[in-house]
């Protein structure tokens, strides 16, 4: 019986390490993708436009938080699995009965914790949703109009105002102008401080920034023709507003995030299935060992009872022999001939 139980512990230890290494290999891509998603600014569409802060409530935050929660669960589960494998190895090489019971109890507790982690893992996976709020476009348009009005102060890309510089870079990089489409001298810039307080617009030298002119960039925009920034002649400037451009870039970014999310979930499902397999094997092991212990106790008890019966029988026989001897002595004295 001892050899059989010891063999079960050895096989379990080997199986535990096999599953542990499989989990580590399968978790590698998910752990890497989770770290990338955590460190990446999912709401940014251009590194040069961070100060504009068009997204006060990023619709990717929910996805990012869920992905990070799943990442923590997987890493914690890997820790549990590794500890269980180490303890099961110790069980295979330990012969002391008390230590075996302690280690077995520890494995049972960790197995239960692992099952709870697996359950929570799939609960989070099932409840993961990626549905951006519908008012995002309306809010985006409002925030862009407000930002242009408050922050655009110069058409000089080297000014001391960082947000104003980024607006100009937005017009350069995405070939657009203003927030809504520009069709003439009356446009979104009329309410900016560049036109109302100080700047070439306020001095009536320009009606739109030079950064809106076609065939110009941040290095030679100062030589832009007056037909563009002063007269606003059609064909000399970018009529398309930045709102439609940013909306297009957000949709493009959303597709990229969707793909990253799908890849992450694919890795998560693979890890989850391995975790379920590991949990099932652990439960099967616990049941097997428990049954072996019960069987061992059952085989031990009849032997003890038999020994007790034999001992009682021996005592009874001894008592019977003693009584018979006494009776024989009495009979001998009774039949003795008198003098």
pLDDT tens-digit map of 151-190: 999 998 888 888 899 999 999 999 999 999 999 999 999 9
**pLDDT above 90 as % of the chain:** 20
User: Mean of the pLDDT values across residues 290-308?
Assistant: 59
pLDDT tens-digit map of 256-275: 877 888 888 788 778 777 77
| pTM metric for this prediction | 0.64
Q: How many CB atoms lie within 10 A of CB 64?
A: 19
* Rounded Cα distance, 139 and 179, in Å: 13
Mean pLDDT estimate for the chain: 76
Tokens 């890493």 belong to 75
pLDDT tens-digit map of 78-87: 887 788 778 7
Q: Are 68 and 85 in contact (CB under 8 A)?
A: no
Q: How many CB atoms lie within 10 A of CB 107?
A: 23
* Rounded Cα distance, 10 and 202, in Å: 85
pLDDT tens-digit map of 202-239: 887 899 999 999 999 889 898 899 999 999 999 999 99
E strand residue ranges, 157-274: none
The CA-atom distances, in angstroms, between 12 and each of 131, 285, 289 are: 44, 7, 10
pLDDT tens-digit map of 47-72: 667 777 765 556 666 677 777 877 88
The CA-atom distances, in angstroms, between 310 and each of 298, 300, 306 are: 19, 16, 6
User: Mean of the pLDDT values across residues 278-290?
Assistant: 71
What was the pLDDT predicted at 198?
80
* Rounded Cα distance, 1 and 295, in Å: 9
């Amino acid at each position: 019986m001892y050899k059989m139980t010891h063999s079960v512990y050895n096989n379990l230890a080997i199986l535990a390490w096999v599953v542990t290494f499989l989990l580590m290999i399968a978790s590698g891509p998910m752990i890497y993708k989770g770290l990338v998603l955590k460190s990446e600014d999912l709401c940014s569409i251009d590194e040069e436009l961070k100060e504009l802060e068009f997204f006060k409530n990023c619709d990717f935050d929910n996805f990012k938080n869920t992905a990070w929660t799943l990442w923590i669960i997987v890493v914690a589960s890997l820790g549990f699995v590794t500890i269980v494998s180490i303890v099961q190895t110790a069980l295979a090489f330990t012969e002391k009965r008390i230590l075996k019971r302690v280690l077995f109890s520890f494995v049972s507790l960790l197995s239960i914790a692992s099952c709870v982690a697996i359950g929570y893992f799939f609960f989070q996976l099932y409840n993961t949703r990626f549905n951006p709020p519908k008012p995002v476009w309306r809010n985006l348009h409002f925030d862009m109009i407000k930002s242009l009005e408050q922050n655009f102060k110069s058409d000089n890309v080297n000014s001391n105002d960082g947000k104003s510089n980024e607006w100009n870079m937005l017009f350069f990089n995405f070939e657009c102008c203003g927030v809504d489409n520009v069709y003439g001298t009356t446009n979104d810039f009329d309410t900016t401080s560049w036109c109302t307080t100080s700047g070439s617009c306020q001095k009536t030298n320009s009606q739109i920034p030079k950064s809106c002119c076609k065939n110009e960039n941040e290095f030679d925009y100062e030589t832009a023709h007056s037909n563009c920034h002063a007269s606003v002649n059609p064909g000399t400037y970018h009529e398309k507003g930045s709102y439609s451009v940013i909306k297009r870039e957000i949709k493009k970014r959303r597709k990229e995030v969707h793909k990253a999310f799908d890849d992450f979930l694919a890795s998560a499902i693979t890890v989850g299935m391995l975790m379920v397999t590991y949990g099932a094997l652990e439960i099967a092991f616990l049941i097997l060992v428990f049954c072996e212990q019960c069987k061992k106790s059952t085989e031990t008890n009849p032997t003890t009872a038999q020994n007790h019966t034999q001992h009682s029988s021996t005592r009874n026989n001894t008592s019977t022999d003693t009584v018979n001897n006494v009776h024989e002595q009495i009979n001998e004295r009774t039949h003795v001939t008198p003098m």
